[in-house]
């Protein structure tokens, strides 16, 4: 851990990058740490504040193009602090717009560019159609299948040798090469909302283990029931899939 014995879970620019309930990722990290007897506190970094180098987790959520553009300048200014913290053992979780911002740039539909932090070798361009719906991703073992919900128009290209989070079984993910997200040293990027960590307890524990080391097991029966339910929904076909798409179209 980068600081004292209390885990500092940083929620970065939630008023800009918090459109899809990604605050839930912070809640889950703290609770799963506390259930194991570890102290954890939430540190909200407002968009008007500099990003510190003293956090154990840096969580970036989703947002539309305008809020993402507004967040970009502060994120770039804070990238050196984030990298300093990561070198000291901190971890980064970046979802949707946050995922796009840890790459080099996001190119909007009108050709304008939102510069990124360059933490990973990736570039995103606006594409069509918009990718909306349940997603199922097959990561590398020992992680089980992941479930989430996507709502984005980005098409993210990973650089040579950059590892994705996993292979897309259903849904769009990065929209290119049949993969979702990125997986680097204590960095995880993904298009999975839901939020992703409440839906996938093993993924939450993987992030925690990056910072605190080996974890005691937890009873995650309820969380696994939710994951299985969403996996069934994500791989639906035929009439069931048609009905899901009809409900989404209605809003």
* 232 touches 241 (CB < 8 A): no
The answer to whether the Cα torsion of 191, 121, 2, 97 is positive or negative is negative
Please check whether residue 67 lies inside any domain of the structure: yes
Q: What is the pLDDT of residues 153-184, one digit of tens each?
A: 999 999 999 999 999 999 999 999 999 999 99
Query: Among candidates 123, 120, 95, which has minimal Cα distance to 192?
Result: 95
Residue 192: which CATH number? 3.40.50.880
Confidence of residue 245 (pLDDT cuts 50, 70, 90): low
Q: Assign 113 to helix, strand or coil.
A: strand
What pLDDT score does 251 carry? Answer: 57
Query: Does residue 195 have a cis peptide bond before it, meaning omega lies within 30 degrees of 0?
Result: yes
Our answer to whether residue 193 is catalytic in this structure is yes
What lies within 8 Å, CB to CB, of 225 at 6+ separation is none
Range of the domain at 232: 7-250
Beta bridge partners of residue 7, listed in sequence order? 40
Catalytic annotation, pick one of 193, 199, 206, 227 = 193
What pLDDT score does 20 carry? Answer: 86
User: What whole-number distance in Å separates Cα of residue 59 and Cα of residue 44?
Assistant: 10
Q: What is the pLDDT of residues 105-158, one digit of tens each?
A: 999 999 999 999 999 999 999 999 999 999 999 999 999 999 999 999 999 999
Query: Among candidates 42, 45, 46, which has minimal Cα distance to 31?
Result: 42
| Summary mean pLDDT of the chain | 94
* Residue ranges in 127-220 assigned as alpha helix (H): 196-199, 201-212
Please check whether residue 93 lies inside any domain of the structure: yes
User: What whole-number distance in Å separates Cα of residue 34 and Cα of residue 22?
Assistant: 19
Please check whether residue 1 lies inside any domain of the structure: no
Split into its structural domains, the chain has a count of: 1
User: What whole-number distance in Å separates Cα of residue 53 and Cα of residue 45?
Assistant: 12
Please check whether residue 108 lies inside any domain of the structure: yes
Other C-beta atoms lying within 10 Å of the C-beta of residue 89: 15
Please check whether residue 42 lies inside any domain of the structure: yes
Please check whether residue 102 lies inside any domain of the structure: yes
Please check whether residue 91 lies inside any domain of the structure: yes
Catalytic annotation, pick one of 17, 96, 120, 203 = 96
What pLDDT score does 35 carry? Answer: 97
Cα 79 to Cα 29, 59, 130, 250, distances in angstroms: 22, 13, 29, 40
Helices 201-212/221-234 angle, 10° precision = 120
pTM of the predicted model as reported, rounded to 2 decimal places: 0.93
Confidence of residue 3 (pLDDT cuts 50, 70, 90): very low
What pLDDT score does 155 carry? Answer: 98
Confidence of residue 239 (pLDDT cuts 50, 70, 90): very low
Q: How far apart are the first and last CA of the chain?
A: 42
Please check whether residue 2 lies inside any domain of the structure: no
- Name the DSSP letter for residue 41: E
């Amino acid at each position: 851990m980068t600081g004292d014995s209390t885990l500092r879970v940083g929620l970065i620019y939630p008023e800009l990058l918090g459109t899809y309930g990604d605050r839930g990722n912070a809640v889950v990290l703290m609770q799963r740490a506390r259930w194991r007897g570890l102290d954890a506190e939430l540190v909200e970094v407002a968009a008007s504040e500099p990003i510190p180098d003293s956090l154990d987790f840096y969580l970036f959520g989703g947002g539309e193009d305008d809020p993402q553009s507004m967040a970009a300048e502060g994120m770039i200014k804070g990238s050196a602090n984030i990298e300093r913290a990561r070198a000291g053992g901190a971890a980064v979780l970046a979802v949707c717009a946050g995922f796009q911002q840890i790459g080099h740039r996001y190119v909007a539909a009108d050709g304008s560019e939102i510069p990124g932090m360059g933490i990973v070798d990736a570039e995103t361009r606006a594409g069509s159609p918009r990718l909306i719906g349940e997603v199922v991703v097959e990561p590398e073992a020992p992680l089980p299948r992941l479930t989430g919900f996507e709502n984005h128009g980005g098409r993210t290209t990973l650089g040579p040798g950059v590892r994705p989070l996993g292979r897309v079984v259903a849904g769009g993910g990065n929209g290119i090469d049949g993969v979702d997200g990125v997986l680097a040293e204590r960095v995880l990027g993904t298009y999975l909302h839901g939020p992703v960590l409440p839906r996938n307890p093993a993924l939450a524990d993987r992030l925690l283990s990056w910072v605190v080391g080996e974890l005691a097991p937890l009873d995650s029966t309820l969380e696994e029931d939710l994951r299985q339910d969403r996996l069934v929904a994500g791989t639906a076909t035929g009439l069931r899939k048609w009905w899901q798409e009809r409900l989404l179209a209605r809003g």
